[in-house]
Amino acid sequence: MSATTQAAIVTDVGKIRSNNEDLAFAGDRLFVIADGMGGPPAGDLASEIMIDTLTGLDAHAVDTGPEAVAALREAVDAANRGIREAAAADEGRTGMGTTVTGLLRAENGEFGLVHVGDSRGYLFRSGALTQLTVDDTYVQMLIDQGVLDPADARYHPQRAIVTQAVQGGVFEPHCTVLTPEEGDSYLLCSDGLSDVITDETIAGALAECGEPRGAGDRLVQLTIAAGAPDNVTVVVVDVLGATAGADTADLTV
């Protein structure tokens, strides 16, 4: 049985920023978030190029999770070329780029996941929250090297340094095939959420709210109440029906 989904996007500029460089899309098959960087208008344009390039995937079915990953990877590469061309056309756009975290549903019920940067993807299953993505950040590198405790990462003075993004150059996306179970919720979010509220708070909001719009509204409200120094955007995807459950599997393409 192929997975069926229900999704919602909620976004807010936050309490300090004057413009919103986050963009997101939630369709029938594709769910994606992009957080632009490089300052206005360059960051806005980079995230727009990413979303506009990926949205074409929503109209074209793929059969399996690995095929979904391959399609996402190809589309992200195309967006990278578009960002490189846009930056070359205007020196004021030098350094422009974007994060991307996207899910593409295949006909067999699997999802492909692609990720670059410090936006995040989470799975909420049976009351437990699991982070599916690894941040491309300096702080995460310190955690991986064992020199920084994960509990201290939120307060590290260099927590905003991104080590990889889609900026028209070379990058290596993280790609995964996911097999959902009925009742799962997937959360895609910009760092405006994950830098401000804890995983425990995120899990609590997803548990309390019975549908994507309510969960998204609640998560953004909690972020605003905590200060919201950055744009905050969430995409919540509920799995209403799915193939038989299985563990997630890493895939290299």
Least confident of 19-33, 74-88, 146-160: 146-160
Backbone angles phi, psi at 23, to 5 degrees: -135, 150
Of 235, 245, 211, 253, residue with least CA distance to 109: 245
For residue 41 the two structure tokens come to: 């208008």
Evaluate if residue 82 carries a pLDDT over 80. yes
For residue 78 the two structure tokens come to: 């195309």
Confidence of residue 138 (pLDDT cuts 50, 70, 90): confident
> For residue 244, what are the contacts with CB-CB under 8 A and spacing of at least 6?
none
Could you read off the pLDDT of 160-218 as tens digits, one per residue?
788 999 999 999 999 999 999 999 999 999 999 999 999 999 999 999 998 999 999 99
Residues 244 and 186: their CA atoms lie apart, in Å, by: 17
> For residue 240, what are the contacts with CB-CB under 8 A and spacing of at least 6?
3, 4, 5, 6, 182
Average pLDDT over residues 132-160: 82
CA distances from 251 to 12, 123, 153, 177, 201 (A): 33, 17, 27, 6, 30
Average pLDDT over residues 225-231: 94
pLDDT at 247: 38
100 strand-pairing partners? 116
Percent residues over pLDDT 70 in the chain: 94
> For residue 200, what are the contacts with CB-CB under 8 A and spacing of at least 6?
none
Q: What is the value of pTM for the model shown?
A: 0.91
Evaluate if residue 223 carries a pLDDT over 70. yes
The larger pLDDT score, comparing residue 158 to residue 190, is at: 190
Contacts 24+ apart (CB under 8 A), 216-222: 216/8, 216/9, 216/10, 217/10, 219/10, 219/187, 219/189, 219/193, 220/10, 220/11, 220/12, 220/193, 222/197
What CATH class does 4-135+164-250 carry? alpha beta
Burial class (CB in 10 A: 0-12, 13-18, 19+), 8: middle
For 105, other C-beta atoms within 10 Å of its C-beta total 29
The larger pLDDT score, comparing residue 52 to residue 150, is at: 52
Residues 160 and 173: their CA atoms lie apart, in Å, by: 19
Residues 118 and 231: their CA atoms lie apart, in Å, by: 13
Tell the residue number behind the tokens 């004057």, with chain if given. 18
